Chains A and B, each alone.
Chain A
């Protein structure tokens, strides 16, 4: 599979071409060029996928392939940084997800971004992002992953701040960058800890069977926890930052300031699941530190609940989708966290479920975002109050959006049902507590998604400046394609392809779990229908009945204010200000003092530089004599 390198090289080439020569091209040409490039990449990715999954299993296990792996930097004899391509079930699966969604977004953007200033730049950044994300998933070692991880962060920053004349976009991009960078600090420390003890960066060595990781860190502890736990928890912190886990989630809702297709690609389908991917990538290592898995479960569960509740009251449709993304990613995290063994049949189900949900979620969430983009395109507003009753004007968007909503709500036969069911089953396997928790969150998910759906397409019709009209074909075609994928993806025998230990696993639906979750979802949908389908005052009444809760949820439980308080009142005022004071009054002042002394001294002695020849001679002669006298005194 030597051609897999093209999958990486081509987007980078597209990026360079579009970034350097983009302004020389017409918008249409740049868009077509970017889309064609991505089409080629997508086809190549599918070829890799078919070839990879077409290969026979070795001893019942899908083997990891490494078509490329060359040494880039060597620190010590053992510790080297390699660059290469790793093909194994999850990376191949991610290739499909990324290229598919990216292709859809490329096509969609030709319509959505039509005529925007900086169209070529937009496509250049999309290519850069695709390159980075593909590099991230095929990384052979954790350091390569880290490099691409940062590149992904940069392209995300660039795309969030695409409308750089809008202050909100600028501050949102800064926020996203800083928060994820802060989390990546933990990631980096984790990598360093890990590599210090195991003397390797390479995934295949780290995840090798036989507890290689544990034996090499055995005995080392820090603050009551083993170093292994610390390292893995810190690495998880990086993942939590990228995947917007509570409490590092605050950047994602703001990131919606970027263009909607970008939100679909980066902040819903691909980049934000990098954290999940990271945990899955190091899954065998995480299994050996159960306390960290416990932490992941808790973080995921709290995030899922928190984001779901907040999503119920947001009025900006992109924010609702952002919180639903956070919630769904948290589902995947929980699925990984509740695993207890590598074998999919006995406790390792969560891994498969998580990856499955990642796959289906990427498709239907991209669909939701693109649909939201079509709605925004039609009414030129993000606010739900400006919408309502759009089903007449946007029939294609309406149907595809409904399919996506049904999928995310977990209604069979749409894809979300199958993957979510596996997650719930995995959670129930671990303990009833987690199972019930996640079922409740799933029900809330169904509720807020249908609140959104009814708010946009039903309900009271808002006044429009001009009649909303269906989007052009470049926008509706991706919607239809993704809707079809959403309809059929659930029937993919995912267990055949991706499982925790590479063996085949036949997905079977647990009837009790499935029935419970479907009933809960249906009840939630009915509730939403009752509340929001027709214009009425019931929502206001509910809001009045629970004023505190509504206010808190509407303000996202004041998490941003907490951050504001911590950064401004504590870090800036208590730490940064004294440091700045020290810098200004001690360090700078010392330097200033040197300058002042030099200045004053120069001012005093500049009289010597009189330009008068004779005074120079006088100084010269007297100086020579003084030196002569001094020499005589010293040497004689």
Chain B
């Protein structure tokens, strides 16, 4: 008996909104980045699941996931580089302190 694919969607949905919560609630930039990874993963799961369950012959979801993983890796690398740079400049990485551009 196969697992109803809505279960996967529930898991990914919970992951996604956990990420949303973390993104908004946390102050630490790295924590925000971690939340972002959660959201990305949730989306990746959705791609894979829809592809596998509804269009098993096609491979778009598969490759979207693949590329999304690659881009997420790139994005994380850059983001961490930026965060480290910020840390070097203002000695902390609280997102509240990052409003210099506005004032």
Contact = CB atoms under 8 A, between A and B. Distances in A.
Contacts of A617: 20, 23-24
A322 to B, nearest CB: 69
B2 interface: no
Nearest to B36: A617
Interface string B87-103: 00000000110110111
A497 to B, nearest CB: 85
Interface in B61-98: 95-96, 98
A611 B23 CA distance: 15
Contacts of A612: 95-96, 99
Main secondary structure of the interface of B (DSSP, over half): helix
Interface in B23-53: 23-25, 32
Nearest to B23: A617
B95 A611 contact: no
Interface of B: 20, 23-25, 32, 95-96, 98-99, 101-103
A611 B100 CA distance: 8
B13 to A, nearest CB: 13
A537 interface: no
B99 A611 contact: yes
Contacts of A621: 20, 24
Interface residues of A, number: 9
19 contacts: A609-B102, A610-B99, A610-B102, A611-B98, A611-B99, A611-B101, A611-B102, A611-B103, A613-B32, A613-B98, A614-B23, A614-B25, A614-B32, A614-B95, A617-B20, A617-B23, A618-B24, A621-B20, A621-B24
Contacts of B102: 609-611
A618 B21 CA distance: 9
B31 to A, nearest CB: 11
A614 B99 contact: no
A612 B96 CA distance: 7
Nearest to A615: B24
A612 B24 CA distance: 10
B20 to A, nearest CB: 6
A625 to B, nearest CB: 10
A617 B33 CA distance: 13
Contacts of B24: 614, 617-618, 621
Interface in A281-303: none
A310 to B, nearest CB: 73
A610 B102 CA distance: 7
Nearest to B35: A617
Interface string A592-627: 000000000000000001111110011001000000
Contacts of A611: 98-99, 101-103
A85 B61 CA distance: 82
A614 B20 CA distance: 10
B22 to A, nearest CB: 10
A613 B95 contact: yes
Contacts of B101: 611
A614 B32 CA distance: 9
B94 to A, nearest CB: 11
Interface string A41-81: 00000000000000000000000000000000000000000
Contacts of B20: 617, 621
A210 to B, nearest CB: 83
Nearest to B17: A621
A313 B23 CA distance: 96
Nearest to A621: B20
Contacts of A610: 99, 102
Nearest to B26: A614
A525 B55 CA distance: 120
A614 B97 CA distance: 12
B27 to A, nearest CB: 8
Nearest to A613: B95
A581 B68 CA distance: 65
Closest 10 CB pairs of A and B: A611-B102, A611-B99, A614-B24, A618-B24, A617-B23, A613-B95, A617-B24, A621-B20, A611-B101, A614-B95
